[in-house]
């Protein structure tokens, strides 16, 4: 372990599992390590997150965060608080799961598979950039694009696990770039969206509601729903992509290409917990696909 790192252990954590949290499609800057832990960057901090159940199949265990605070001159308590918030550790997911599963056999199976999912408190700018890039793209390529964007145009934060980590470029930095500048990042037609969105944000500030969000170039209904859910704490948001459309049709019997009917179904059955429902169902469907 490198010098200057802080280690935090949180005991008695339930409903948390790194692979479920970091591999359910909500974030793109966390990398799986050989031991099943994840290393990534958030809020200008680099960390490795692992979970050790107290015994095999135990429903609680020890959550461990090894962190390099980088430029953030936090004291220990403030940094620990940052990670508690970022990882959403103070929310009762047991209660959420019980509510969602009541009378829903599909959800019971989904929650059994992705029992350790939590919705991260990601920075708004990062979620905007990430999900504009995500459109019409596969996860590995989305991760590659974001990584390259950070390396080429972002600031170095520090190193952890033998690697230097870079923050994303700020809106100001991005607003000053051209499509030609961004060519090495291979964002394709999304580069233009990113630059124009950055320019709007430099002028008007970050979006504060769904309407301002939808006005950003490259932000349509699906991308907006993801940003609302992952970056703005709007937990009723229910992003419907091709995978969720499959879930709604194949598992809930909603008409195949009727997105409106799917939104109505989600609103009526999942309500304010729509975003949590979406994550369990999405992770479940992706797992089914891999068999």
* Contacting residues toward DNA, per CB under 7 A: 24-25, 134-139, 141-142, 183, 186-190, 193, 216-224, 226, 241-243, 260, 286
To 10 degrees, the CA torsion angle through 78, 80, 82, 86? Answer: -170
Nearer to DNA, 23 or 79 (CB): 23
Nearer to DNA, 3 or 211 (CB): 211
In angstroms, how far is CA 260 from the centroid of its own chain?
25
Q: To the nearest whole angstrom, how small is the minimum distance from the Cβ of residue 100 to DNA?
A: 20
Q: To the nearest whole angstrom, how small is the minimum distance from the Cβ of residue 55 to DNA?
A: 31
What Cα–Cα distance (Å) separates residue 82 from each residue in 88, 127, 233, 262?
10, 18, 16, 35
Q: What tokens does 231 get?
A: 């970056």
User: What count of other Cβ atoms lies within 10 Å of the Cβ of residue 57?
Assistant: 5
Is 60 in contact with 13 (CB distance < 8 Å)? yes
Q: What tokens does 208 get?
A: 């504060």
Q: Can you tell me the distance from the alpha carbon of 266 to that of 6, in angstroms, rounded to the nearest whole number? A: 42
Nearer to DNA, 82 or 243 (CB): 243
Q: To the nearest whole angstrom, how small is the minimum distance from the Cβ of residue 188 to DNA?
A: 2
Q: To the nearest whole angstrom, how small is the minimum distance from the Cβ of residue 225 to DNA?
A: 8
Nearer to DNA, 7 or 139 (CB): 139
Q: To the nearest whole angstrom, how small is the minimum distance from the Cβ of residue 120 to DNA?
A: 13
Nearer to DNA, 166 or 193 (CB): 193
């Amino acid at each position: 372990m490198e010098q200057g790192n802080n280690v935090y252990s949180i005991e008695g954590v339930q409903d948390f599992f790194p692979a479920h949290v970091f591999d359910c499609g909500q974030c793109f800057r966390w990398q799986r390590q050989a031991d099943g832990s994840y290393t990534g960057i958030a809020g200008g901090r680099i960390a490795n997150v692992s979970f050790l159940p107290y015994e095999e199949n135990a429903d609680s265990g020890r959550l461990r965060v090894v962190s390099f605070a980088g430029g953030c001159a936090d004291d220990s308590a403030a940094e620990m608080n940052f990670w508690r918030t970022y990882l959403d550790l103070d929310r009762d997911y047991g209660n959420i799961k019980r509510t969602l599963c009541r009378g829903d056999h599909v959800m019971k199976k989904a929650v059994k598979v992705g029992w350790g999912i939590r919705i991260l408190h990601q920075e708004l700018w990062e979620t905007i950039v990430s999900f504009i890039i995500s459109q019409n793209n596969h996860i590995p390529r989305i991760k590659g694009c974001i990584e390259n964007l950070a390396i080429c145009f972002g600031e170095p934060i520090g190193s952890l696990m033998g690697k230097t980590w870079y923050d994303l470029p700020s809106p100001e930095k991005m607003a000053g770039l051209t499509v030609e500048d961004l060519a090495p990042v291979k964002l394709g037609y999304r580069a233009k969206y990113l630059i124009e969105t950055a320019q709007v944000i430099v002028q008007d500030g970050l979006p504060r509601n769904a309407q301002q969000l939808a006005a950003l170039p490259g932000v349509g209904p699906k991308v907006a729903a993801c940003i609302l859910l992952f970056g703005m704490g709007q937990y009723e948001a229910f992003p419907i992509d091709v995978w969720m459309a499959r879930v709604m049709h194949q598992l809930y019997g909603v008409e195949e290409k009727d997105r409106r009917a799917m939104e109505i179904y989600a609103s009526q059955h999942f309500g304010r917990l729509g975003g949590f429902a979406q994550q369990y169902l999405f992770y479940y469907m992706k797992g089914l696909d891999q068999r």
